A and B are shown apart, each in its own frame.
Chain A
Amino acid sequence: MSKQLGFLHNSEKCVGCRGCEMACKNEYQIDTTPQWRKVFQLHEDDFSLPTRMFFSMACNHCAHPECLRVCPVEAYTKRDDGVVVHDPNRCIGCRLCIMACPYDRPQFNPAKKKVEKCNLCYKRIDNGEEPACVAACIPGALELVEINETLDQKTGVLKTLPGLPSPKITTPSIRFIGPKQGKQIRRD
């Protein structure tokens, strides 16, 4: 693997509009139930000061993907750029990947009786475009980045947020810029 692509999510910029969810649904015409990308709200008391913040999460294209390890049919492959691709033509719907992923990101499609997940719009990336969710993010909270030490050493870049499973399980390829504390905007 030559590099590891992933997402950088800036919770300070995210307004929880769910435009990324819609862009993903729109791009792939996903059925009603599976949700490849989902916006979550952090608990207000997760930080020292009450904070209302969101984060958006799809498949994290983990460095050590549990879905890929447990899948009996090799439906999952990891590309040279680190993207974990799921091939629905190979999937037999055993749902073991759903059980193994701590982020619940592989989703079962009851209509197709197969699992689906975000493939990081690898076809768009190969054409030099941004993933649909990144392109649709109005405040620019979601970015496609290369996950490496240089990124991790930047001030304010976090490997996890409160309410997320430990990154030690699968080493997810997502980074966060957490909410700035101590800044209060009041409308008195």
Chain B
Amino acid sequence: MGDWEWPLIIFTVLGQIGIGIILMLWWLDRKHDQLDANLFKQGVHMSGGLLILALLASLFHLGHPEAAYRALTHLGSSWLSREILLFLLTFLAWIYLFWMSRQQSGNRSLGLGIVSVLGLLGIASSAMIYVLPRVPAWNNVSPVLFFLLTTGLLGALCTLLFGRESLKAAQKKFLLQWSLGCTIASLLLYVIYATMLSVSIEGAASLNFLLSSPLFWARALLGWFTPLLLLVNLLKNSQVDKTNLILTVTLLAGLGEVLGRALFYLSATGIQITALF
């Protein structure tokens, strides 16, 4: 079984929230002038802060963080090299976006689009690092889908939370619907993923670990079922302005994703030598 990979948990979750926020802003800005200038500024600042924290956290995973720049040297076959390159490019594009947010000029939508596309490619590369033939639980499309769903879910909820003053009712409703869609997709995908795991011995070991872990049930309750009920309730009763409820959903979904990511690393069982030693 794997370990508590705190630097990687923080790096992946925070990075995905940061890029998710930009993605949501891009979507809300698709028809020009629909996005409030202050919201744009707030979103850019928040996503940048999260990206910086994420990149710093990733260094703590390395034995020699001072030599991290060397991780860019094997782009030909290493997904880790590609991930670092794409995250650095995302950050450079974010700097352009930051400059734009201060100047109040330039093509906002284009800037948001570039950061979103580069960020999504970075997230897909992050996930591809774990697609290893040695680890049957990861050697499929699920890491990519899980990482993208975290991006969509937490990006939308965080945008909704900090933009509660400036978002229009229709925009809030869209973000709630999007979050609900991501939560349902995440839950369904996990059910399919769990059924796939039992095909191999190592996958079955991962599944056993998950089902017997209290963390998994906490993740299910806090990260899927409670947010699902709250989101349905918010949408059904048109309570798009209930700040406390939105804050609760965001915190629960965030906690659920952190636990889910921890379980992702903890439950990994690799093919290994089973002889005695």
Task: Please list the residues of chain A having a beta carbon within 8 angstroms of any beta carbon in chain B.
Answer: 38-43, 55, 57, 66, 68-74, 90-96, 99-104, 108, 112-114, 161-166, 169
Contact = CB atoms under 8 A, between A and B. Distances in A.
Nearest to B78: A72
A163 to B, nearest CB: 4
15 contacts: A70-B79, A70-B80, A72-B71, A74-B73, A92-B67, A93-B62, A94-B63, A96-B78, A99-B135, A100-B134, A101-B134, A108-B63, A113-B64, A163-B274, A163-B275
B79 A94 contact: no
Question: Secondary structure at chain B's binding surface: helix, strand, loop or mixed?
Answer: loop
A102 B68 CA distance: 25
B275 A55 contact: yes
Given A66-B132, A102-B270, 13 more contacts: A39-B277, A41-B277, A55-B275, A70-B79, A71-B78, A72-B78, A72-B80, A72-B84, A74-B73, A92-B71, A99-B132, A101-B134, A114-B63
Interface in B203-230: none
Interface in B72-109: 72-74, 77-81, 84
Interface in B149-202: none
Contacts, number: 107
Contacts of B255: none
Looking at B63, B65, B73, B81, the one whose CB has the most chain A CB atoms below 10 A away is B63
Interface of B: 61-65, 67-68, 70-74, 77-81, 84, 129, 132-135, 268, 270-277
A164 B80 contact: no
B77 A41 contact: no
B71 A164 contact: no
Interface centre among A43, A70, A72, A161 (most CB of B within 10 A): A72
Given A101-B134, A169-B134, A57 B78 contact: no
A94 B74 contact: no
A16 to B, nearest CB: 10
B63 A93 contact: yes
A111 to B, nearest CB: 10
Nearest to B130: A99
